[in-house]
Amino acid sequence: MKNSIKKYLAVVLVGMFLPTLLLAEGDPDKDAPLDALGPVPVQLDNKQTPEKIELGRMLFFDPRLGGDASIACSDCHSPKEGWSFAAPISRGYPATVHWRSSQTIVNSAYYSKLFWAGAAKSLEAQAPSAAKGGVAGNGEDDVMEARLAFIPEYRERFRDVFGDEWPLINNAWKAIAAFERTLVQRDTPFDKYMKDDGAALGEAEKRGLALFQGKANCFECHNGPLFSDQKFYNLGVPRHDGWLEDGMKQITFRFELYAKGVTEEDYRNLKDDPGLYFRTKQKRDKGKFRTPSLRYTLYTAPYMHNGAFFGLDEVIDFYNEGGGTNDFAANKTRILKPLGLTDDEKEDLLMFLESLSGEEIVMEAPKLPKYEPLAMD
């Protein structure tokens, strides 16, 4: 009987603490080797079809999936801006500002932890979080669903794809996720090199690859085919000046602190984004953010969770100096140390990083269907 109770308690304790343990910093013994990207993973309950992908493409560009019908997914993830947003902090809902940098949608299908603090586990979960976030889309399910119902072409498309008598908002997120899974890049010079095309990388890029896995130690966190271990670190990225100087950004920041439930002391005193702490409420997680992929970064400046750096050369300099200092210095990862890279080595490393991007993925916005009055029986 006692053994059974012990086993039960062990299971309960593992269930309580395992999520936090899984958020710990990288284990160098478990680093995945660099490789070409494989096939795109697909949710079992959201199979890809051409019709669903096309519906998702239309919805991705349609601002009616939001609060006041003025902001679409594509406004913060613009094809012309690397499918991200070319400013340090993303745009916000009208009369607000956002509080973090927009990440690119390209290759996001390979993540199991989306958003900078890993708050969503799938594209299906990410889409509504963005569309309904208070300083993002600010949409309401019933309003967005009603708008779709007043568009005959959408009613027909939802009926063909999902069998809906009327468009259901949860199926809209599934369609958008299906479209986003087509925004992948698997033909970069690096991918070709890993598929035995030795000429795909030049000599400088090969030297950069050696540095990436050796002296520069980028591989410690940017590993595997995605070039991300999807774990969380405080790099000492300096805080965004807007939190101190811009009144609207201060309001946004305080709103996020309040909405995500911090202590009164933190609400009154924090001047920097606490990152993962919002999810775990563990002090050791303040200032930690998920490792982003290095793929497609040629087009996705600025970099870091608050857009602190506008060029990959600035990012290399930051790491070469051993990271920086922010308000959560006690949590800064011990992995970072001055690297002592020479100017030539930094140039080789930059050349390699650029080989992780292929041709820019461009796309014109589709023509969106119009509202029409519902026929009354």
Structure tokens at 329: 């210095």
Distances (CA, A) of 333 to 22, 144, 167: 16, 42, 47
Q: What are the φ/ψ torsions at residue 187 (nearest 5 degrees)?
A: -125, 35
> How distant is the alpha carbon of residue 316 from its chain centre?
21
More confident of the two residues 5 and 102? 102
- Whether 292 has a pLDDT exceeding 70, the answer reads yes
Give the mean pLDDT of the chain: 91
Please state the domain extents for the chain: 50-180, 189-354
pLDDT at 287: 97
May I ask the CATH class of domain 50-180?
Answer: mainly alpha
pLDDT at 336: 96
Query: Rounded CA gap, 87 and 303, in Å?
Result: 9
Q: Give the model confidence (pLDDT) of 72-109 as tens digits.
A: 999 999 999 999 999 999 999 998 899 999 999 999 99
Task: Tell me the percentage of the chain whose pLDDT exceeds 90.
Answer: 84
pLDDT at 377: 60
Residue with tokens 């909405």: 259
pLDDT at 321: 98
Query: Rounded CA gap, 322 and 320, in Å?
Result: 5
pLDDT at 257: 92
Q: Give the model confidence (pLDDT) of 200-243 as tens digits.
A: 999 999 999 999 999 999 999 999 999 999 999 999 999 998 88
Distances (CA, A) of 247 to 86, 96, 97, 251, 264: 22, 11, 10, 6, 20
Q: Give the model confidence (pLDDT) of 170-212 as tens digits.
A: 999 999 999 999 999 999 999 999 999 999 999 999 999 999 9
pLDDT at 69: 94
Torsion sign, CA atoms 190, 205, 229, 75: negative
Buried b / exposed e along 63-73 (16+ C-beta atoms within 10 A): bbbbbeeebbb
pLDDT at 33: 95
pLDDT at 3: 53
Torsion sign, CA atoms 302, 303, 309, 310: negative
Query: Rounded CA gap, 329 and 340, in Å?
Result: 22
Cα pseudo-dihedral 271, 277, 282, 283, rounded to 10: -20
DSSP code per residue over 282-302? -GGGTTBEEPPP-TTGGG--S
- Whether 333 has a pLDDT exceeding 80, the answer reads yes
- Whether 157 has a pLDDT exceeding 80, the answer reads yes
- Whether 293 has a pLDDT exceeding 80, the answer reads yes
Q: Give the model confidence (pLDDT) of 15-34 as tens digits.
A: 444 444 444 444 444 579 99
Query: Rounded CA gap, 112 and 43, in Å?
Result: 11
Query: Rounded CA gap, 275 and 288, in Å?
Result: 5
- Whether 154 has a pLDDT exceeding 60, the answer reads yes
Region 143-152: mean pLDDT is: 96
More confident of the two residues 258 and 26? 258
Query: Rounded CA gap, 166 and 178, in Å?
Result: 20
- Whether 4 has a pLDDT exceeding 60, the answer reads no
Q: What residues pair up with 120 in beta bridges, in sequence order?
A: 114
One fold for 50-180 and 189-354:
yes
- Superfamily covering domain 189-354: Cytochrome c-like domain (1.10.760.10)
Region 264-281: mean pLDDT is: 94
pTM: predicted TM-score of the whole model, two decimal places: 0.90
Residue with tokens 């998702």: 56
> How distant is the alpha carbon of residue 91 from its chain centre?
15
